Structure 1
Amino acid sequence: MNHWTRAAACALAAIGLTGCGGAAHAPHSRVHLAVLSSAPEMVSGGDARVAVSAAGEVHGKLTFRLNGQPIDPPMQAQGERVEGVVSGLAEGKNLLEVAYLNDSGRTVSDALVLTNHPSGGPVFTGAQQQPFVCRTQESGLGQPLVDNQDGIGHPVFDQPGGRLVGHSKSCAIKTQIHYFYFNGESFKPFDAARGYGAPPADLKTVTVAGASVPYVVRVEAGTINRFVYTIAMLAPSAQRADTFDTASWNRKLVYWLRGGVGLGHQQGTAIWFNGGLRGAERQIISGILAQGYAVASSSGNETGVHYNMRLAEETAMMTKERFIEAVGRPAFTIGIGGSGGAVQQYLFAQNRPGLLDAGIPVQSYPDMVTQTIPVADCPLLEQYFNEEAARDPASMWAVWSRRRLVEGMNGSDTVLNPVTDKPGSTECINGWQGAVPTVLNPVYKDPRYELVAKNYGYPADVFAAVKWTHWNDLANIYGAKADGHAPSPIDNVGVQYGLGALLAGQIGKEEFLRLNACVGSWKEPSQFAQWDAAADPFDARNMQRSAGCRDPGGLPAPRRAGDIGAMRAAYASGHVFTGQRLDIPMIDVRPYLEPALNMHNARQAFSVRARLLDANRAAAARQVIWFTAAQADQGARALEALAVLDSYLTTRRAPEGFSDKCFDAGGAVIGVGPSAWDGILNRAPQGACSAAFPVYSSPRMVAGDSIKGDIFKCRLKPVATALRDGTYADTVRFSAGEREWLERIFPQGVCDYRFGDQGRPPRW
């Protein structure tokens, strides 16, 4: 067997197509072929950056074959190896072989099977969504390319308002190069052909590696996996437009991720174009680029575009692959992003090790899907409180700040309420009221979808079959029932709302019983009606209620049992952050927003840590938590965190700055070190940061759940057992009539959270 066929046979044997007398990478071969841009089985776009290393000098001594045919890819020396981009891969499996004439005059070889996927995707996420609105025009990047005449996808016209020339399923555009310069406040378009010789008067300079260079940025824009990606890097001098000038690159990559809550069916827009860089984003990205980092991003990594975390993971993987092919493999990659952009970092670390090497989640949650638990509770509770306050102006619930006794989240008597337009509100309203329909209501859609579709020439009924919930958006994960609706895990069977307040003497037995009898639950998705925020702010028409619930002898409002299969799918697909894996350092940066009743509440950082402590205590040491008193300070803190993580990854050990910490409104450190947050997750006296920044809870925590907040469905115990086992302590004694009412409210039993608080998925 010659040197070509032996390597090929071994590579093919690895995928079960032939036999091999030995390993493809036998120690005596002294040559090794590797893919740098992706895993060999997850190549996309028809090309891959590869490296060849051997015991001796290899440059100029290599020959390549792709699928049996000689090729001559451009290779460059990188230390003791050579690397370059191999192009022309066919879709599916490809055999890449390399042969090397070593110093002994012996030819040795190696081979790899590369599985190539389309640049438009998918790689592993399955069938792509339709309808799907392409939005490259809104980014100033032109219409997408026509890829079919079958009427599938986005309409493409020969000119605005002109003749229809075809449709685009992939939303693809040709790769484009744009230049921008920084004037100290914003990025402006830059004419690279003329500007270096006659720069704009307001062009700033930046010092990188001791050299002062013009602050000009080269941005490559294109489409990958149907989303718009960008790669940005300093461009200090005139250069060929088809290559990156890496003279000022520090060999490190920042992957930028965005937040929001979206339901798919659209491409999103690019961050660099048409004023796409937002407030704090501009501050942080300008600081990152000024230090020589490259910045990659994709509209597919904005949760305001979609909340499919597997699709986000796939998109980031493919975008980073493109970066490595175009620029080279970075020394390391650090993720930065807020809200849903922060969620992505935790889930990428859990589900795709190696995609990121460190992360700076800003205003994070552990994941999105477990946030649907309090999101679903909030309107039920607020509707009850409002009805009670309307019935009796002297009701305790007419005082907004008292609602926190049951909701756990903060409430204020002075913060403006967006529903009443008067002082007095809660986080349930100011933070979460608008999120409910996108989670639960399949017939509610953001009106901007229809407006955009109309402007692009879609038929009026293009979205008629779409069911607008997170669960249906991920129907390939959760499945769908015969009626087309995806199963939902939303469940409140056995939840004793306000239990903690009852035990603390903050509400009485009658109020506790009436609350739980009347709070009700959500209807099944097939029963939902359209939401009118002005007339029905809490979507009460879609709740299961009971007119006689206030009467001890009346019929309690029913509770809803969630779909167990959907719960299991959420865990199995990696949409729940379990805490079992966090192999990279993370600095969780959070402005303290509790006084504003903002949805990015302080509890979330500790929910992450609690899951880590329960599942993998070693991993918990890789997460540190920074709070700042002022939201305006979060940009400076994010850049400080970047410097700390850069040091961590460069030296391969945690620097002194990698520690829990909090800052006052002036940026001065209030507390730092292992005890800074004492009293939140342990029983130690309050630390300096814990005292400065009070952490609130949630409706389920008041009902007995832990701060982890990862239980969709609690394990139940009979009410009779709860009455005996200390659930109500010695201070709450129910009369016979009250016990009978409790039994009718909870015919299936009440939650026993002791069996769902061990760092494991819920017990069913």
Structure 2
Amino acid sequence: MRRKVWLSLLGAILVLAYYFWPSSRYPAHFIEPHPVLAQPPHSSGELLQVSDFIATTPRPADPYPYPIALGAVGPLTPLYSGSLQYPFYCGFSQQGLEPPQVDNQQGYGIAVVQDKQQLGYSQDCLHPSRLLWYRLTADNQVRPYQGETLGSDEQLIRVELGTLLRFFYFVLMPVNAAEYGERDSAERWNQQLIYQFHGGVGIGFRQGSINLERMIANRAAQLRRGYAVLSSSANRTSHTYHFLRAEEVAVRLKRHFESLYGKPRFTIGIGGSGGGIAQYLLAQNAPGLLDAAIAQYSYPDMLSQVVYALDCDLLHNYYYFTASDKASWQSMAQRQLIEGLSTSEQQSVRFRWQISAAQLLAGQWPTPSRGASQCINAWFGLSSMVHNPHQGRLKPFTSTELRQQTHWSYWQDLVEIYGRDQHGFAHSLWDNSGVQYGLQPLRSGQLSARQFLELNARIGSWLPAAQMQPEKVRFIRQLDLPLWLSSFGRHNISQPKSNAADFQVAPRYRADTAAINRAYRYGQLFLGKAQIPIIDLRHYLDPVLDMHHLEPSFMARQRLAMQGNDDWQRIWVSHPDYTPVAAAFAALEQWLQQGIAPDSASDRCFAADGSLIAAGTAVWQPNGSCSRHYPPLSNSRRQAGAPTHGLLLQCRLIPVADFIAAGHYQPVDMTPYLPELQQIFPDGVCDYQQGDNGWPADWPAPAE
């Protein structure tokens, strides 16, 4: 009883907050320093014109006279990755640098202030290249170095920092104390190079930063062995998933390095999550950039995970707001039937009280959940971050006027590739037309026909971009907390509507087919066209509901197999207490030196103490030793009948009657429900056997 009283009181407070606290009010600490004030009227840069596939499309010659001189800025104008993106938020404050160079007096970009005097503005965030010096202590602590005597177990690291295509670049080189102050010497370099990629979720419009001391610490073992390391803030996906832009920066940074130190024997990539995606895509799209890859916690590409990740908030909206039997959907076992991702009865739903608040505001009594799922604890709010053009980030990086003029989304970051709709918004490639959520559990008898029909009638879709609205956020200053009053972005989800038969159906969304076609041609999807050694390495995080679940490793493998290339990939999975990165480097070095895969690079899995559980060609077979120890799970689209490789953004549709006649619901007889199915799916349901509707027509059909 006491709980109900408190919830009622909370509901009353929230209603007052909803109506009397303006949503545009930001606390001071939620406003980034040095906001972008205005953007220039034009930008420069050409986009590579791809008629067939990006990997076979020649890149233009690079006229820049490398190396970048110390004290100078690197090249600014892209050669082939498209126009300069504005607004563009500078990352110097996070990088610990002085403000960037003044490049205009017209008010474009950020204001540059020094000694309380405004010198002008910077629209491109440019910094002259410089040398920084650090020492790795015996216990691998990273300290700034100023010429003092080094200990016998300490390693001196020279860092070159500057900007290239407006992004920060980093060149890390292990050197001797006698090389202090010099740029060109590399006596300790072992002629081998690492390209460091970084993860996160970003939507562009920012220079970003990289924690330099952390990067040195993470690569300490390899630096001590003589490896040089390259990286750029353009190769961190928390800033952008525009992989053509990331490619051009990486290619030109490597040219800069080679102009100083010569061509390395080989280049190994490393990076997690989005940094793993980058390696899969750049190995495919830009052959020669990397010679091998350590893809950690990876997905095959961004689009493949967005497909099911953006289903999550739709499903949550159904469970909490539109389902007729909300209580049954608070069972995590029931949710897993639909979502496919991991669940836990022991963990609690994140943001539970905010969900309860949203239910109260909607006039519903809060529904307690029994446990939690990866779909909610890991993917909650992604729809706002990457999909809503009016939201993007909670913290404002620009003036209010620019914030309202800009479309903040992952789709907008790649608008030159994906194109615009008739309202000027970037095409979204997310599509759920014809998707029969829960088809697999229906077939297996774990979901009733009535549950299946209601779920698919009411789940709806994301509204077209032109109809979406910003999230409803209020700030409780006393608690220093943002309060989200639009849980799951539900005001941007299509709602069930009654038709003539009084059967409520929420409309679905059909993406632009031509935009999907361009995504394939521009290599924004991993097709399996990679021919370098790849160790796909991850901790087994499914039980802790982390978004970096195991299944994507096998999605990538299946796509490689479709191209006849799966022998290039090895899957390593370990307990979270052990990270076999050093062993991965050793295996790849041997692979590259010998030209064939050594036994030490075989598929394998590890225990918490680092011991080998199993290794060999069969360990990841369905009943293999590693599969039994670390079982891969599923996702919402696979549970809807989509292929396991996940290379399908828009299905081809067939009439429901044809789907029934073909026996695709068997052993369930859905004939009695044909009228309702036809109302839910008036344009038809997915026939996944026909492949992706956006697959380029002049390409051979992918081998299954």
Task: Measure the CA separation in 1 of the matches of 2:223 and 2:514.
Answer: 45
Task: Measure the CA separation in 2 of the matches of 1:224 and 1:323.
Answer: 12
Aligned to 2:685: 750
- 3-state secondary structure, aligned to 1:539: helix
Residues 230-266 of structure 1 deviation map (CA, whole Å, 9 limit, x = unaligned): 1111122232524243221111000001000111111
Task: Measure the CA separation in 2 of the matches of 1:244 and 1:45.
Answer: 19
- 3-state secondary structure, aligned to 2:347: strand
Of the three residues 609, 612, 617, the one matched with 1:666 is: 609
Aligned to 2:22: none
Aligned to 2:467: 527
Task: Measure the CA separation in 2 of the matches of 1:240 and 1:328.
Answer: 20
Q: Do the aligned residues in 2 keep the contact of 1:44 with 1:119 (CA within 8 Å)?
A: no
- Asked if 1:140 is matched to 2:75, the reply is no
User: What's the TM-score, normalizing by structure 2?
Assistant: 0.83
Residues 673-700 of structure 1 deviation map (CA, whole Å, 9 limit, x = unaligned): 1101012xxxxxx000111111111111
Extract unaligned runs of 5+ from structure 2.
1-57, 354-368, 473-482
- 3-state secondary structure, aligned to 1:122: coil
Q: Do the aligned residues in 1 keep the contact of 2:388 with 2:408 (CA within 8 Å)?
A: yes
Instruction: After TM superposition, give the deviation of residue 299 of structure 1 in Å.
Output: 0.7
- Asked if 1:740 is matched to 2:675, the reply is yes
Q: Do the aligned residues in 2 keep the contact of 1:343 with 1:366 (CA within 8 Å)?
A: yes
- Asked if 1:613 is matched to 2:561, the reply is yes
Of the three residues 348, 351, 365, the one matched with 2:285 is: 351
Instruction: After TM superposition, give the deviation of residue 761 of structure 1 in Å.
Output: 5.9
Residues 439-485 of structure 1 deviation map (CA, whole Å, 9 limit, x = unaligned): 211111313343xx5xxxxx443333111111111111112234221
Task: Measure the CA separation in 2 of the matches of 1:264 and 1:592.
Answer: 30
Task: Measure the CA separation in 1 of the matches of 2:424 and 2:694.
Answer: 33
Quick check: 523-532 or 480-489, which moved more? 480-489
Aligned to 1:706: 643
- 3-state secondary structure, aligned to 2:179: coil
Aligned to 1:573: 522
The structure-2 alpha-carbon separation of the partners of 1:673 and 1:745, relative to structure 1 and needing over 3 Å to count, comes to: same
- 3-state secondary structure, aligned to 1:562: coil
Task: Measure the CA separation in 1 of the matches of 2:174 and 2:370.
Answer: 48
Aligned to 1:369: 303
User: What's the TM-score, normalizing by structure 1?
Assistant: 0.77
Letter in 2 for 1:537: S
Aligned to 1:414: 346
Aligned to 1:9: none
Instruction: After TM superposition, give the deviation of residue 607 of structure 1 in Å.
Output: 0.4
Quick check: 433-442 or 590-599, which moved more? 433-442
The structure-2 alpha-carbon separation of the partners of 1:187 and 1:552, relative to structure 1 and needing over 3 Å to count, comes to: farther
Quick check: 285-294 or 551-560, which moved more? 551-560
Larger % of helix: which? 2
Aligned to 1:443: 390
Extract unaligned runs of 5+ from structure 1.
1-38, 49-84, 89-116, 206-213, 454-458, 680-685
- 3-state secondary structure, aligned to 2:82: coil
Task: Measure the CA separation in 2 of the matches of 1:759 and 1:646.
Answer: 39
Letter in 2 for 1:716: L
Q: Do the aligned residues in 2 keep the contact of 1:252 with 1:293 (CA within 8 Å)?
A: yes
- Asked if 1:542 is matched to 2:477, the reply is no
Letter in 1 for 2:100: P
- 3-state secondary structure, aligned to 2:488: coil
Q: Do the aligned residues in 1 keep the contact of 2:341 with 2:375 (CA within 8 Å)?
A: yes
Residues 582-638 of structure 1 deviation map (CA, whole Å, 9 limit, x = unaligned): 111000001000011111111000000111112x11x110011000022x422xx12
- 3-state secondary structure, aligned to 2:525: coil
Aligned to 1:15: none
Residues 60-95 of structure 1 deviation map (CA, whole Å, 9 limit, x = unaligned): xxxxxxxxxxxxxxxxxxxxxxxxx9x99xxxxxxx
- Asked if 1:241 is matched to 2:181, the reply is yes
Instruction: After TM superposition, give the deviation of residue 360 of structure 1 in Å.
Output: 0.2
Q: Do the aligned residues in 2 keep the contact of 1:224 with 1:319 (CA within 8 Å)?
A: yes
Aligned residue runs from structure 1 range 557-572, under 5 A:
557-572=506-521
- 3-state secondary structure, aligned to 1:611: helix
Aligned to 2:47: none
Task: Measure the CA separation in 1 of the matches of 2:349 and 2:394.
Answer: 23
Q: Do the aligned residues in 1 keep the contact of 2:82 with 2:245 (CA within 8 Å)?
A: no
Letter in 2 for 1:734: M
- Asked if 1:157 is matched to 2:113, the reply is yes
Q: Do the aligned residues in 1 keep the contact of 2:60 with 2:80 (CA within 8 Å)?
A: no
Instruction: After TM superposition, give the deviation of residue 174 of structure 1 in Å.
Output: 1.5
- Asked if 1:590 is matched to 2:538, the reply is yes
The structure-2 alpha-carbon separation of the partners of 1:204 and 1:190, relative to structure 1 and needing over 3 Å to count, comes to: farther
- Asked if 1:693 is matched to 2:630, the reply is yes
Aligned residue runs from structure 1 range 165-176, under 5 A:
165-176=119-130
Aligned to 2:588: 645
Aligned to 1:91: none
Instruction: After TM superposition, give the deviation of residue 416 of structure 1 in Å.
Output: 2.1
Q: Do the aligned residues in 1 keep the contact of 2:331 with 2:370 (CA within 8 Å)?
A: no
Of the three residues 197, 200, 215, the one matched with 1:260 is: 200
Quick check: 164-173 or 349-358, which moved more? 164-173
Aligned to 2:265: 331
The structure-2 alpha-carbon separation of the partners of 1:225 and 1:653, relative to structure 1 and needing over 3 Å to count, comes to: same
- 3-state secondary structure, aligned to 1:461: helix
Aligned residue runs from structure 1 range 23-34, under 5 A:
none
Which structure is higher in RCO with an 8 Å CA cutoff and minimum separation 6? 2
Aligned residue runs from structure 1 range 53-132, under 5 A:
119-132=75-88
Residues 15-49 of structure 1 deviation map (CA, whole Å, 9 limit, x = unaligned): xxxxxxxxxxxxxxxxxxxxxxxx9943354236x
The percent of aligned pairs where both chains have the same amino acid is 35
Aligned to 1:34: none
The structure-2 alpha-carbon separation of the partners of 1:509 and 1:407, relative to structure 1 and needing over 3 Å to count, comes to: same
Q: Do the aligned residues in 1 keep the contact of 2:348 with 2:371 (CA within 8 Å)?
A: yes
Task: Measure the CA separation in 2 of the matches of 1:552 and 1:660.
Answer: 56
Q: Do the aligned residues in 1 keep the contact of 2:332 with 2:370 (CA within 8 Å)?
A: no
Task: Measure the CA separation in 1 of the matches of 2:443 and 2:549.
Answer: 25
Larger % of strand: which? 1
Q: Do the aligned residues in 1 keep the contact of 2:74 with 2:162 (CA within 8 Å)?
A: no
Letter in 2 for 1:544: S
Task: Measure the CA separation in 2 of the matches of 1:291 and 1:758.
Answer: 49
Aligned to 1:431: 378
